Amino acid sequence: MEQNKGKTDSLLSLIRDGQKLTWGQQLRLTALLSGPAIMAQLSSIAMQYIDASMVGSLGANASASIGLISTTTWLFSGICSAAATGFSVQVAHRIGAGDFDGARRVLRQALTAVLAFGLGMAGVGMGISGALPRWLGGDEAIRADSSAYFFIYSLFLPVLQMHFLAGGMLRCSGNMRVPSLLSVLMCVLDVIFNFLFIFPTRTWQAPWGEVTLWGAGLGVEGAALGTVLAELVTAGLMLYYLLRRSPMLGLKGHGGSFVPRRTILQNAARISLPMAFEHAAISGAQIMTTVIVAPLGVVAIAANSFAIIIESICYMPGYGIAEAATTLVGQCVGAGRHKLLRRFANITVWAGMIIMGIMGALMYLTAPQIISVMTPVADIRTLAVEVLRIEAFAEPMFAAAIVAYGVFIGAGSTLAPSLMNFGSIWGIRLPLAFLLAPAMGLRGVWLAMCIELCFRGAIFLVRLWGCKWEPPS
């Protein structure tokens, strides 16, 4: 791992120093950055998979209570992520230009700004937690658990916000290793904490006799507590590494003001606001999808929730490669290497399409086996498998949209791609879902999603290959 880190740093320094990178070096650098980022993304999905599997053992109502508000948690998480990205992209540009003092200056101001933002988001989330399940059309039987889960999630949003900031800063500096290792740790801690908080005290028959296993027996609330406590531990460790150990961004021995300045805030807003709008548009559409799905019944809600988590296994590699693309393009922008920027854009997009295409094929073949681990309810299993096999055909084009968006973020060009996402999901997916759901049920909702993702990938490729989007030379 240390050897790979040295290779990554050495190759990234060629970008900053204006030296030529061979085709092989470009591929190697893309792989070195993408590998740990993919592992981190898969660990995140594994955590959701663990939560869903453990809660799924409690029955359909428990699963549906989390599935009902999952799109809203993604909305809040996406907005917090966008707020952090507005600062981390500026850091990538400064590192690419060799301005490490400037990068630390952005970091100090970002710590103050995003913490305040996270506290505000927590207040909003806790304030709406009681009414949210009713707004989403959830059944009376699952509303209490849904509200409790969302309240606990919202309470810890400042922690999630700082986790996003620390991870984004490290990745934009080229350090994918630490965030990925800590993501694996978070997954392990989530298993342990969920095991303790979800289930009641029970006995286990070991070979040497009975063993009493303590448990809080909190059910759905325990799943929320387990996740946020795992997040708390790993966020603290990531911040410690960023601020004390990072060779490029560590603040030890480097003084300066933590008061946000107008120029840096304006640059952050220029990058973050379109991203926040895009997250709100997509998550808002997902919430509307939940409203469409909710009247279809508890089985449809639970199957939809499980299918979303399983499909995430396919597209998380795309998000990992997109993070690598953001780092590579961001540092190329800072170094003024615009031809190299284009080459990295093409490499990362094609890599994402190939990998997610393979993942889609595997999902199609193994969907019955994967869903059987998550729920014992036969009706949920059958429906989830059917919709996953519809979605499998969209994975390569979904990859094109995901990775190209990461390229545009690295270039600081977020407005047009955000509008493209908004137009695609609200102009195509939702109208189709409304039309198809009454006749086809959940299958119609996922068919609409498949069609829309293919269209979205196509328009992102058109922009990537046919339009000028990188900063001027």
Q: Taking 90 as the threshold, does the pLDDT of residue 344 lie above it?
A: yes
Average pLDDT (156-172) is 95
pLDDT at residue 3, as a whole number: 53
56: left (phi over 0), alpha (psi -120 to 50) or beta: alpha
CB 121 within 8 A of CB 280: no
CB 393 within 8 A of CB 253: no
- Which distant-in-sequence residues (6+ apart) come within 8 Å of 167 by Cβ? 40, 179, 182, 238
Q: How far is CA 72 from the centre of its chain?
A: 14
Reference 113, options 240, 261, 250; nearest CA is: 261
Q: Taking 90 as the threshold, does the pLDDT of residue 103 lie above it?
A: yes
Average pLDDT along the chain: 89
Report the number of distinct structural domains present in the chain: 1
Look-up: residue for tokens 């880190």?
A: 5
Q: Taking 60 as the threshold, does the pLDDT of residue 2 lie above it?
A: no
Q: Taking 60 as the threshold, does the pLDDT of residue 4 lie above it?
A: no
Instruction: Give the per-residue SS3 of 94-111.
Output: HHHCCCHHHHHHHHHHHH
Q: How confident is the model at residue 110 (pLDDT cuts 50, 70, 90)?
A: very high
pLDDT at residue 373, as a whole number: 79
pLDDT at residue 62, as a whole number: 84
276 belongs to a structural domain: yes
273 belongs to a structural domain: yes
- Which distant-in-sequence residues (6+ apart) come within 8 Å of 335 by Cβ? 15, 16, 18, 96, 97, 98
Q: Is the dihedral of CA 66, 46, 287, 297 positive or negative?
A: negative
pTM: 0.81
381 belongs to a structural domain: yes
pLDDT at residue 473, as a whole number: 53
CB 449 within 8 A of CB 425: no
CB 364 within 8 A of CB 422: no
pLDDT at residue 48, as a whole number: 67
Q: How confident is the model at residue 375 (pLDDT cuts 50, 70, 90)?
A: confident
202-252 pLDDT per residue, tens: 777 777 777 788 888 898 899 899 989 999 999 999 999 999 999 899 998
Rounded CA-CA distance 182/180 in Å is: 5
377-429 pLDDT per residue, tens: 888 888 999 999 999 999 999 999 999 999 999 988 889 999 999 999 999 99
16-58 pLDDT per residue, tens: 888 888 899 999 999 988 888 888 777 776 776 677 677 777 7
473 belongs to a structural domain: no
Average pLDDT (249-256) is 87
472 belongs to a structural domain: no
Q: Taking 90 as the threshold, does the pLDDT of residue 311 lie above it?
A: no
Question: Each residue of 214-223: b (16+ CB within 10 Å) or e?
Answer: eebebbbbbb
Q: Greater confidence, 2 or 291?
A: 291
124-158 pLDDT per residue, tens: 999 999 999 998 888 888 999 999 999 999 999 99
Average pLDDT (256-263) is 92
pLDDT at residue 361, as a whole number: 93
pLDDT at residue 377, as a whole number: 81
pLDDT at residue 313, as a whole number: 79
Look-up: residue for tokens 């500096």?
A: 173
For residue 20, report the phi and psi dihedrals to the nearest 5 degrees: -75, 140
Q: Taking 70 as the threshold, does the pLDDT of residue 444 lie above it?
A: yes
11 belongs to a structural domain: yes
Rounded CA-CA distance 449/446 in Å is: 5
Residues facing residue 204 across a β-bridge: 211
Average pLDDT (150-167) is 96
Alpha-carbon distance values, 157 to 80, 164, 430 (Å): 8, 10, 29
Q: Which domain holds residue 108?
A: 2-466
